[in-house]
A and B are shown apart, each in its own frame.
Chain A
Amino acid sequence: MTKNALGALMVVLLLGVAAYASFFIAPTDAKQGLIYRILFLHVASAWTGLTGFFICFIANLLYVWRRQPRWDWLGVSAAETGLVFTTVVLVTGPIWAHPVWGIWWTWDARLTSTFVLWLLYVAYLLLRTLIEEPDRRALLSALFGIFAFVDVPLVFGSIRWWRTQHPQPIIMGEPGSGLDPLMYKVLFFTWFAMLGLLILLLRQRYQLEAMRGDLDMIQRDLETA
């Protein structure tokens, strides 16, 4: 069995255990009942998406500093992967909100800043399709990626700085806030499994981008020949 297949199998196994723990090990919430179990998927996806954007930010900084194509490849791979996790957050959030709040969506600070974050990284990917010259594309998208990351602290702080419909933080929140210790364990385990999925997808996406770099090189060779 190849290393890639073994890694994928491990991640699927971890995600399966995380789903089992979310449904059968974590205690039922006294107020929300069964619906709160979306929390494990929703919050873990949000943290993983932000981790993806953080990797993109670091790769963008390194590209601007070192100008090596591999940082550009990592940047775009992390942006796309982070965007997928944030899409999951934006889809699962309203499914959870509707039975609890009675509405699918509201333009409060947390939901709006998360949606803006999603739009910024969609713009990052669109920008790359508009520039043909590889070095110029890499530099401009790295600069835009650094700018886009400014929204991440806003997403993090939005439920701490402003009154929102979205619940208050469960980590580093006010005294009395938080979860049952067993819920925390399940949440952190789910995040761990999601990080495994992030690494798996990021690796695949990076290989694709590296191949694209090879293709650009061959095309340039053919043009000069």
Chain B
Amino acid sequence: MKNLDSVFAAYMCAWAIFFVFYLTIARRTSALREDIERLKNSQHRSK
């Protein structure tokens, strides 16, 4: 089982990178959704 730690590290790093990217998209999407709602409300108020 030589180098098992390296193989494990490579797989963990890869899945961590994909997971973090997925989380950043989700976070940015929810922040943007809030901004759009806020702007839509102010748009209605100005009309």
Contact = CB atoms under 8 A, between A and B. Distances in A.
Interface of A: 19, 33-35, 37-38, 41-42, 45, 81, 84, 87-88, 91-92, 95-96, 98-99, 197, 201, 204-205, 207-208, 211-212, 214-215, 218-219, 221-222, 225
A35 B6 contact: yes
A87 B17 contact: yes
Contacts of B13: 88, 91-92, 95
Contacts of B2: 33-35
Given A197-B18, A207-B29, A208-B28, A218 B36 contact: yes
Interface in B8-46: 9-11, 13-14, 17-18, 21-22, 25-26, 28-29, 32-33, 35-36, 39-40, 42-43, 46
A77 B14 CA distance: 19
Interface of B: 1-4, 6-7, 9-11, 13-14, 17-18, 21-22, 25-26, 28-29, 32-33, 35-36, 39-40, 42-43, 46-47
B47 to A, nearest CB: 8
Contacts of A222: 39, 42-43, 46
A211 B32 contact: yes
B6 to A, nearest CB: 5
Contact of B11 (A19, A35, A81, A205): A19
B4 A34 contact: yes
B6 A211 contact: no
